[in-house]
């Protein structure tokens, strides 16, 4: 076991003065995690300008949360679901925990698509496990367990997707949750519709049939609404008992299957959106209503002033058409590509944090942060300054940025690692890629052709101008950094079929 002192980590990792977030009372904490939501999928703009996508979608409660809290403009996750969810619960980056692709609900099922050039990397395709020695899993201590041990009433609602069925990590109870509503091994719902029992129809149920919501069967309660009602029901108990709570409100929305949330669908058809995009927009607005309902509930119960809300998405918006409408890979403009890609469209996320009395309402943080930062941040907020965990975490608390939004640390290094074949066809930044960001610079490593691309995100958020030829010293610096990190973490790499060797590290090209 390791004895981790988060205060020490914070002291050596930040560049300016701040005081620790030891509030007198343990704050309640809600992580509101959306599935597959893109950076531009909101009427709240996260860029320096308002885009046509910001005008297309309606998310008034995200706007409200931004007004009451802090907006992060450079927040990141991994290109697909499970790596991000495991990073959040473990505090580790994907290259380090080795769960680099989505996990199948079925045990021991490597989800990598077959490939002519590469054999699959030895990644942890059964996901994360809270106990050791489970085949093809990564063993880590999940932070909800630490919160539970610290006196928190812990609730999971919605999509879990941390591990394959039959492994301990598939079950939210094993990850430190006292209550579990509809979380299991699957990564998407079979159906959002209560009329279809969320997939639980006799003879038709698959791995993805949503568990636990029997009382809504046959009614017209959309899945997003049912999860919200159940989460609110579960919150009554800790509020009544005066216990601090942690709610992992992890919506299945807005992941496929695209289905119309009828409460909001027609307005988008009336606005001229094609059917699939109107369904997508309705999923988004239903998710946004859930956020508003939770905020209203907290206020009504008079716990809003002692409740932190962290809004996040687990990867970029899906840009494969179909099932999305519009031209492929244009759904996250100005960002390039979408889900599955190491370009910004696949990894940059809408992120908002409200911490009443600590973070200034309406503030904006431009520092880049990543989903593994949630682990140390949430423990920092909860006042857990030291604890025993089995893993070495990579994340850093973003509490200093909530207290002083102007702080910038351009020496920090972020890594994305996707040594996998996510889809059968390579797309922009999709399949067999790594990337590293330091300051405004980002280097992308294409394993298939041993190519390197360099971008300056400050001037070129679109990643339209590859500067690798112009700045060879910067390429070398970042390739070395990336190679060093991947080696230190023993990151999984694909195997070249021709010679049986792992793909070369970016600094040995």
In the complex with Ca ion, the residue whose CB is nearer, 238 or 316, is 316
In the complex with Ca ion, the residue whose CB is nearer, 314 or 394, is 314
In the complex with Ca ion, the residue whose CB is nearer, 81 or 402, is 81
The CA-atom distances, in angstroms, between 75 and each of 104, 149, 346, 372, 481 are 27, 29, 12, 11, 21
Q: What CA–CA distance (Å, rounded) separates 160 from 158?
A: 7
Q: Is 315 in the site for Ca ion (CB under 5 A)?
A: yes
Q: Tell me the closest approach of the beta carbon of residue 205 to Ca ion, in angstroms.
A: 22
Q: Tell me the closest approach of the beta carbon of residue 346 to Ca ion, in angstroms.
A: 10
- CA-nearest of 175, 177, 180, 77 to 128 is 175
Q: For Ca ion, which stretch binds (CB under 5 A), given 28-36, 62-70, 200-208, 240-248? A: 28-36
Determine which residue in the list 26, 36, 245, 478 makes contact with Ca ion, applying CB under 5 A.
Answer: 36
What's the burial of 305, exposed, middle or buried (CB within 10 Å: 0-12/13-18/19+)? exposed
In the complex with Ca ion, the residue whose CB is nearer, 118 or 311, is 311
Q: Tell me the closest approach of the beta carbon of residue 272 to Ca ion, in angstroms.
A: 28
What the block records as the tokens of 346 is 């696949």
Element holding 436 (H helix, E strand):
strand 433-438
Q: What CA–CA distance (Å, rounded) separates 229 from 224?
A: 9
Q: Is 507 in the site for Ca ion (CB under 5 A)?
A: no
Q: Is 288 in the site for Ca ion (CB under 5 A)?
A: no
In the complex with Ca ion, the residue whose CB is nearer, 37 or 381, is 37
Eight-class DSSP state of 192: S
The CA-atom distances, in angstroms, between 333 and each of 74, 337, 340, 347 are 15, 8, 16, 13
Size of the site for Ca ion (CB under 5 A): 5
Q: For Ca ion, which stretch binds (CB under 5 A), given 188-196, 315-323, 436-444, 449-457? A: 315-323
Q: For Ca ion, which stretch binds (CB under 5 A), given 73-81, 174-182, 342-350, 355-363? A: 73-81
In the complex with Ca ion, the residue whose CB is nearer, 304 or 314, is 314
Q: What CA–CA distance (Å, rounded) separates 437 from 311?
A: 23
Eight-class DSSP state of 163: B
Closest residue to Ca ion: CB criterion: 81
In the complex with Ca ion, the residue whose CB is nearer, 252 or 355, is 252
Q: Is 349 in the site for Ca ion (CB under 5 A)?
A: no
Determine which residue in the list 44, 285, 314, 394 makes contact with Ca ion, applying CB under 5 A.
Answer: 314
Q: Tell me the closest approach of the beta carbon of residue 148 to Ca ion, in angstroms.
A: 25
What's the burial of 356, exposed, middle or buried (CB within 10 Å: 0-12/13-18/19+)? middle
Q: Is 41 in the site for Ca ion (CB under 5 A)?
A: no
Q: Tell me the closest approach of the beta carbon of residue 78 to Ca ion, in angstroms.
A: 9
Q: What CA–CA distance (Å, rounded) separates 75 from 478?
A: 20
Q: Is 312 in the site for Ca ion (CB under 5 A)?
A: no
Q: What CA–CA distance (Å, rounded) separates 38 from 35?
A: 9
In the complex with Ca ion, the residue whose CB is nearer, 36 or 285, is 36
In the complex with Ca ion, the residue whose CB is nearer, 207 or 297, is 207
| DSSP states along 128-160 | EESSS--TTEEE---HHHHHHHTT-EEEEEE--
Q: For Ca ion, which stretch binds (CB under 5 A), given 10-18, 306-314, 327-335, 498-506? A: 306-314
Beta-carbon contacts of 425 under 8 Å, excluding residues fewer than 6 positions away, are: none
Q: Is 369 in the site for Ca ion (CB under 5 A)?
A: no
Helices (H), 273-366: 275-300, 344-347
Draw the binding track, 246-285, toward Ca ion (x: CB under 5 A; -: no contact): ----------------------------------------
Q: What CA–CA distance (Å, rounded) separates 319 from 97?
A: 26
In the complex with Ca ion, the residue whose CB is nearer, 103 or 197, is 103
Beta-carbon contacts of 507 under 8 Å, excluding residues fewer than 6 positions away, are: 476, 479, 480, 482, 483, 484
Q: Kindly list the strands in the beta sheet with 441-446, ordered across the sheet, starting from the edge strand earlier in the chain.
A: 413-418, 433-438, 441-446, 451-456
Using CB under 5 A as the binding rule, the residues of this chain from 77 to 96 that contact Ca ion are: 81
In the complex with Ca ion, the residue whose CB is nearer, 141 or 315, is 315
Determine which residue in the list 6, 29, 35, 179 makes contact with Ca ion, applying CB under 5 A.
Answer: 35
In the complex with Ca ion, the residue whose CB is nearer, 27 or 317, is 317
Q: What CA–CA distance (Å, rounded) separates 246 from 231?
A: 11
Q: For Ca ion, which stretch binds (CB under 5 A), given 29-37, 210-218, 288-296, 408-416? A: 29-37
- CA-nearest of 488, 464, 461 to 74 is 461
Q: For Ca ion, which stretch binds (CB under 5 A), given 124-132, 240-248, 284-292, 308-316? A: 308-316
Q: Where on the chain is the footprint of Ca ion (CB under 5 A)?
A: 35-36, 81, 314-315
């Amino acid at each position: 076991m390791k004895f981790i002192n988060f205060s020490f980590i914070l002291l050596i990792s930040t560049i300016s003065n701040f005081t620790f977030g030891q509030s007198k009372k343990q704050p309640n904490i809600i992580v509101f995690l959306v599935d597959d939501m893109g950076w531009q999928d909101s009427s709240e703009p996260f860029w320096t300008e308002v885009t046509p996508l910001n005008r297309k979608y309606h998310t008034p409660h995200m706007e409200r949360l931004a007004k009451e809290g802090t907006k992060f403009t450079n927040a990141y996750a991994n290109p697909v679901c499970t790596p991000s969810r495991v990073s959040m619960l473990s505090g580790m980056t994907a290259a380090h925990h080795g769960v680099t692709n989505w996990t199948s609900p079925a045990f021991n099922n490597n989800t990598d698509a077959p490939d002519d050039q590469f054999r699959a990397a030895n990644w942890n395709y059964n996901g994360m496990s809270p106990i050791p020695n489970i085949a093809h899993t990564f063993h880590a201590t999940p932070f909800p367990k630490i919160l539970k041990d610290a006196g928190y009433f812990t609730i999971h609602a919605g999509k879990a997707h941390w591990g394959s069925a039959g492994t301990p990590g598939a079950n939210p109870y094993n990850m430190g949750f006292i209550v579990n509503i509809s979380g299991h091994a699957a990564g998407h719902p079979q159906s959002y519709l209560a009329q279809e029992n969320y997939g639980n129809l006799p003879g038709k149920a698959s791995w993805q049939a949503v568990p636990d919501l029997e009382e809504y069967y046959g009614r017209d309660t959309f899945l997003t609404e049912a999860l919200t009602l159940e989460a609110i029901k579960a919150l009554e108990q800790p509020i009544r008992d005066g216990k601090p709570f942690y709610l992992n409100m992890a919506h299945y929305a807005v992941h496929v299957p695209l289905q119309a949330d009828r409460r909001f669908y027609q307005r988008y058809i009336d606005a001229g959106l094609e059917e699939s995009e109107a369904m997508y927009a309705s999923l988004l607005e239903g998710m946004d209503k859930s956020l508003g309902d939770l905020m209203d509930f907290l206020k009504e119960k008079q716990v809003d002033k002692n409740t932190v809300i962290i809004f996040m998405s687990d990867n970029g918006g899906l840009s494969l058409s179909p099932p999305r409408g519009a031209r492929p890979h244009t759904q996250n403009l100005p960002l390039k590509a979408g889900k599955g890609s190491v370009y910004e469209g696949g990894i940059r996320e809408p992120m908002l944090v409200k911490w009443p009395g600590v973070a200034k309402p309406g503030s904006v943080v431009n520092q880049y942060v990543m989903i593994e930062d949630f682990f140390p941040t949430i423990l920092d907020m909860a006042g857990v300054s030291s604890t025993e965990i089995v893993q070495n975490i990579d994340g850093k608390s973003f509490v200093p940025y909530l207290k002083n939004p102007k702080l910038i640390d351009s020496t920090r290094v972020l890594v994305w690692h996707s040594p996998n074949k996510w889809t059968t066809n390579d797309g922009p930044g999709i399949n067999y890629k790594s990337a590293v960001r330091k300051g405004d610079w980002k280097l992308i490593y294409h394993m298939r052709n041993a190519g390197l691309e360099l971008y300056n995100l400050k001037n070129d958020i679109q990643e339209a101008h590859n500067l690798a030829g112009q700045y060879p010293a910067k390429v070398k610096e970042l390739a070395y950094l990336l190679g060093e990190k991947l080696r230190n973490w023993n990151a999984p790499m694909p195997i070249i079929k021709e010679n049986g060797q792992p793909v070369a590290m970016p600094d040995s090209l």
